[in-house]
């Protein structure tokens, strides 16, 4: 089987002051969004919706680690205190999302972030990452059982597209680890295979 060299970067912020907002900001400090774009928290756990976002965004990026998750595992993950999904909509259509996962010792991982292919390059990714990172920093305000956030971290890899690493760095994330591995070439799954939930 043929392989591909994949570089993975782990990045972090260790203070809310590290967050560099995207572009112009509104009076309340939030980024000004493109016309017709709204970013809303998906407050009710929905395995169906989360799986849709995962496959629709990651289908051409070879996101495969959750394709075999049964419905119960999706529900368990989404119902964990401090698990949040923030969704960008353009004129009412889901355009992308950022998923936050509160962890021990005040860490919050951005476990997934991205846009559906049709919405890339339209000025949505920067504001979505800024809003999502800000929500990682104030996550304990919505989840009092979680410790205040001390660190927000994420990993991205060379398969995530040519702008992924730079987008994180422009938002104030710093690389703290880099690794290069050979991974087997696998077909790009697209958003359709494995549609069964059980």
Inter-helix orientation angle 47-58/71-78, to 10°: 100
pLDDT above 90: percentage of residues in the chain:
70
**pTM (2 decimals)?**
0.89
For residue 57, what are its two tokens? 């965004």
Strongest mean pLDDT among 3-7, 57-61, 166-170, 189-193 = 166-170
Give the pLDDT band (50/70/90) at residue 190: low
Whether 189 shows a pLDDT value over 80: the answer reads no
H or E element at residue 112: strand 107-115
pLDDT tens, position by position, 19-37: 997 777 766 667 788 899 9
pLDDT above 70: percentage of residues in the chain:
90
Q: What pLDDT is attached to residue 192?
A: 53
**Cα 179 versus chain centre, distance:** 20
DSSP H helices, 71-150, are 71-78, 125-137, 139-142
Correct CATH for 3-176 of 3.40.50.10540, 3.40.50.300, 3.40.630.30, 3.30.9.10: 3.40.630.30
pLDDT tens, position by position, 44-97: 999 999 999 999 999 888 888 898 999 999 999 999 999 999 999 999 999 999
Which string of b and e fits 57-76 if b means at least 16 CB within 10 Å? bbbbbbbbebeebeeeebee
Domain residue extents for the chain: 3-176
Give the pLDDT band (50/70/90) at residue 163: confident
pLDDT tens, position by position, 7-17: 999 999 999 99
Q: What pLDDT is attached to residue 38?
A: 96
């Amino acid at each position: 089987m043929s392989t591909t060299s994949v570089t993975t970067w782990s990045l972090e912020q260790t203070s809310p002051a590290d967050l560099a907002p995207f572009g112009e900001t509104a009076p309340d400090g939030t980024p000004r969004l493109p016309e017709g774009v709204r970013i809303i928290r998906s407050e009710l756990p929905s395995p169906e919706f989360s799986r849709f976002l995962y496959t629709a965004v990651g289908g051409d990026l070879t996101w495969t680690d959750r394709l075999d998750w049964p419905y119960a595992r999706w529900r368990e993950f989404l119902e964990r205190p401090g698990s949040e999904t923030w969704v960008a909509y353009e004129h009412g259509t889901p355009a992308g999302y950022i998923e936050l996962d509160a962890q021990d010792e005040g860490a919050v991982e951005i476990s997934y972030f991205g846009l559906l292919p049709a919405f890339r390059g339209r000025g949505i990714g920067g504001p979505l990452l800024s809003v999502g990172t800000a929500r990682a920093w104030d996550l304990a305000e919505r989840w009092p059982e979680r410790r205040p956030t001390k660190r927000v971290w994420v990993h991205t890899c060379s398969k995530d597209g040519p702008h992924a690493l730079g987008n994180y760095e422009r938002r104030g994330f710093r690389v703290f680890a880099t690794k290069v591995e050979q991974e087997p070439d696998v077909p790009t799954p697209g958003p359709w295979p494995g549609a069964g939930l059980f």
